Structure 1
Amino acid sequence: MDDGLTTSTVLPVLDVLESSKEVNKIILITIEREHVKLRTTLTEQSKVQHVPLYSTTGYFSKIKDFTIKQNKLVKILNRYQVNLIIGHSSQAGAMVHKLGKESQVPYIVSLFEPHAAYMLESKVWKHYGLKYKFQKHWENLQKKNAFGLMPVAEGYKQELVSEGIAAERIFVVPCSVEPELFKYDLQRRIEIRRQLSWESATIGIYVGKFGGLYYDNEAFYIYIRCFELIPGFRLLILAPHPQQEIHQQLQKHTLDMAHVHIASVQHHQVAAYLSAADFAFATYKPGSSKKYLSPVKIGEYWANGLPVLLTEGVGDDSDIIQNEGGGATFNLEKEGSLENAIAKIKSILGDPVHRQEIPKLAAKYRSPDKIKEAYSYFFKKLNNKQA
């Protein structure tokens, strides 16, 4: 429950369900490592009861989660007389599908994405591997049996419809951002830049991981080009990796570590660092399935007024940037594409009102109101079905 992705994607949903008159009780079930100390803030909400299920580490932990935990889920379902199950992501949807099938309780999958395709295209999984085959299998079952699916991109809704899934079972909900939590803070900008002695620098920031779905070595090549093309460029990296790993990458690419600041901070601290920056990186590995993403970080960047240097073809955001602004897209396979994108970022930074204009994109495309609309839609459908 303490990771940034949970904070940014689960808590907004809980807020919506908490405020809904249709909901009397919310049982929040999470799989936790035994050594993790859980926050207790969720239990203070009158409708929310957090029931953590503890997992063990090791090769077979996923299998144990799927088998042993399933029995516990059935008991929880019966104890609280649950009449709607929500699986947050297609990975959680695997357990939710089995639970829904056995209990005949309808289920919805939010944050529904083609995770198997993401991992295959990013070369994390192999097409003949068990992880890929199982995940693909469970995604197909969810497509066929879920009462409702909430993909995060319009492009994926279109793909699902083309596969024969009824449009009325689908409601697009991009990963939302709360504008007030990530709004630009001039005072924090001044403080952090002063602490770093980067008062007059042009600062680029990256929040996230390296490897997996994201560029690794390529990301550092992009940083090199920024140092070469942007006068006074400095780099902020907020990443969960051990700092030594990132230091090794900086050394490998002969980047001056005096011009790079690395930190690992809590999610609520990210906004201050965004305020200190001038633009942001969203360096995803390319692939045909990546157009179905809705990166949380892009919504947070936009809410703070930061233009985004984004890999071409990522989510609906790539088209939004090309059509409405808010950054620049690049394709490392196209000669000159990165350099043109960096030039576009520099042009945006020269616009004195860009910091006020870009948050409008977050308000337009990443509003939590979409979550409310989606659940109102599915609650109405469910009530009509049960009437």
Structure 2
Amino acid sequence: MRILFLGYWSLNDGLTTSTVFPHLRVLQERSDVEAIRLVTIERGAMAQAELTFAPGYLTPKITFLPLRSKPGQNVILTKIEDFTRFPDELVRQAAEFRPDFILARGAPAGALAYLVWKKIKLPFYVESFEPHADYMLESGVWRRYDPRYLFQRHWEKKQKRLASGLMPVAENYRRQLIKEGVPAARIATVPCSVDITQFAFEDEARQRIRQRLGFASTALVGIYVGKFGGIYYDEEAFQVFRAAADQFGSGFRLIILTPDPEQEVQCKLTAAGLPSDSFFVTKAPHAEVPDYLSAADFAFATIKPAPCRLFCSAIKIGEYWASGLPVLVTPGVGDDSAIIEAEAGGAVFDLRKPESVRQSVQHLRQLLTEPNLRIRIRELAARYRSLERARQAYTMLLST
């Protein structure tokens, strides 16, 4: 089979590296896959830049041809222009590459795949399928009258009806899709997959990173990976970091890996009352993240609670688990919050409840005394976030 794999982020975006590349490897290993065309969407200042695959990712089966946004417009005009121009460009790519179907990563990419289907009836599948429009609405990023919300919500309804297969990231959403009338045979749950081997704990990396950062070998280190704002807490996250520091005392240290401006994050940490020698902030390439996770003892997932968050799967939680880190998380995050509570994979806090953060940090503190904790936590990643889930879903959906 020939697959046009449509991503929604830049080739160099961390989400492409962490969520798209692992699935490309799974697909290209299949004997029935003849060729894969990866299509990314390049926006902003780098939209016209020359793009190069990292060594080891481009194989004889995989070719690459991006879609490029036109620079110099505001975000709404850019998105409108993208969704009117890109379907025609994808139709041209389909005529040249001759795919059997489009495999879209995420509901926004699925919207483009649907628009191509509308023109040439090319079958399409959508993996990492989530209610993206409602995510953005409930997070306050979009408003109910925003054209982006209205169009995306409409296109998601079309995907549910017309996609040859959907791969939601949470069992919660699979059940919801079945309630909405999507045939169960067209649905396979694939939580955001993690390369368990890549994120395995390494004691050498732990010692090296701590020494470089000036963190004592006895320090208790928390880590946060990702952005602030949008679907994630912003100012509130820094108060959670402060609460953890208060509970763990002067030996607490914090690592933050974020694409946000470093100085801005440092100022927020200082304003929250954390001493400057107690934290380290940087933007790390995805390949370096496992070493930083090895240096930590537990992790933060400060995701804003919202009704549709039950249907998500945070890649960072899978990566935390793969390194053996218990996670301090908010309630109702996909299947993960319930797993964390049921299987002692960390602790759940709710900012709407007084004392919740303090109590959850205390619970976490008890977990950290458990012998072989990292080994047990890593099993959660093996059970719930392995790439084997993607292999099984592709076998179920793409082989029919």
TM-score class, shorter-chain normalisation, is over 0.9
Q: Contact 2:21 / 2:57 at 8 angstroms: preserved in 1?
A: no
Letter in 1 for 2:261: P
CA distance in 2, matches of 1:6, 1:224: 32
Q: Structure 1 residues 114 and 350 mapped into 2: Cα distance closer, same or farther (>3 Å)?
A: same
Letter in 1 for 2:79: K
Correspondence for 1:73: 90
**Pair 1:247-2:276 in alignment:** no
Correspondence for 2:30: 20
Q: How do 1:228-243 and structure 2 match up within 5 A? A: 228-231=246-249, 232-243=251-262
Q: Contact 1:42 / 1:50 at 8 angstroms: preserved in 2?
A: no
1:306 aligned counterpart, secondary structure: coil
* Percent of pairs with identical residues: 44
Length-normalised TM-score, structure 2: 0.93
Q: Structure 1 residues 370 and 349 mapped into 2: Cα distance closer, same or farther (>3 Å)?
A: same
Correspondence for 1:363: 382
Letter in 2 for 1:377: M
Length-normalised TM-score, structure 1: 0.96
Deviation at 1:35, TM superposition (A): 4.6
- Give the one of 202, 217, 220 matched to 2:238: 220
2:361 aligned counterpart, secondary structure: helix
Letter in 2 for 1:9: T
Unaligned runs of 5+ in 2: 1-10
Correspondence for 1:39: 52
Q: How do 1:56-205 and structure 2 match up within 5 A? A: 56-57=70-71, 58-59=73-74, 60-199=77-216, 200-205=218-223
Correspondence for 1:30: 40
CA distance in 2, matches of 1:352, 1:144: 49
Cα-to-partner distance string for 1:242-271 (whole Å, 9 max, x where unaligned): 112112212332321221110111000001
- Give the one of 286, 297, 304 matched to 2:316: 297
Correspondence for 1:211: 229
Cα-to-partner distance string for 1:183-242 (whole Å, 9 max, x where unaligned): 101011111111222112101000000000000011011011111111311111100011
Deviation at 1:46, TM superposition (A): 1.3
CA distance in 2, matches of 1:347, 1:265: 30
Unaligned runs of 5+ in 1: 382-387
Cα-to-partner distance string for 1:328-349 (whole Å, 9 max, x where unaligned): 1111111222111101111111
Equivalenced residues, count = 381
2:126 aligned counterpart, secondary structure: strand
Correspondence for 2:297: 278
Flag as ranges the 4+ runs of structure 1 deviating above 3 A.
Answer: 41-44
Letter in 2 for 1:372: R
Correspondence for 1:51: 65
CA distance in 2, matches of 1:339, 1:237: 21
**Pair 1:7-2:17 in alignment:** yes
Between 1:33-42 and 1:366-375, the stretch displaced more is: 33-42
